[in-house]
Amino acid sequence: CGFGNVGRQIMERLKEKGEKYIIVEKDRTKVEQLVQMNIPVIEGDAELDETLERANIREAKALLTTMPDHTNLIVVITARSLNPNLFIVSEVEDDKHASKMKMAGANEVVQGENYFFCCQDCADKFIENPKKHAEMQKLLDATCRSKM
């Protein structure tokens, strides 16, 4: 949800991998641009159940929120209530909101554009299966000697 810099980068990666995706955007100008570019988009407020329903949230395997923290928080709560098995990655602008985002239902929280992968393979694996990648990354982080 959201089509700023981060949303655009994520879309490009998903497109390269042939993954299905849909952008939820409430800015009409951006929506019109996306339509002209043949990019799947739903115009609406991602904070609303009906907008997420139109985006087929109940069948989605993952959600990435890239809006302001207060909006992301509502979207995470709403999406989690509609799809308890959804893997949710939420961007935070302010690190102090990360714990609240997790309490609201985000599986992973990243701060702005500081979400980097060590290599292209890791980025590809994340896109293929975000939940499995996150689990593996936690294991690697826990056992990595460079952090000791």
Amino acid at 120: Q
Residue 85 has a pLDDT of: 95
Query: Which residue in 61, 17, 56 sits closest to 40, CA to CA?
Result: 56
Query: Residue range 5-22: average pLDDT?
Result: 82
Amino acid at 3: F
Question: Do 100 and 116 touch, CB atoms closer than 8 A?
Answer: no
Residue 23 has pLDDT above 50, yes or no: yes
pLDDT of residue 115: 44
More confident residue, 129 or 26: 26
- Residue 16 pLDDT: 84
Among 2-6, 68-72, 123-127, 139-143, top mean pLDDT goes to: 68-72
65-124: pLDDT as tens digits:
989 999 999 999 999 999 999 999 998 988 899 999 999 999 989 876 544 455 566 666
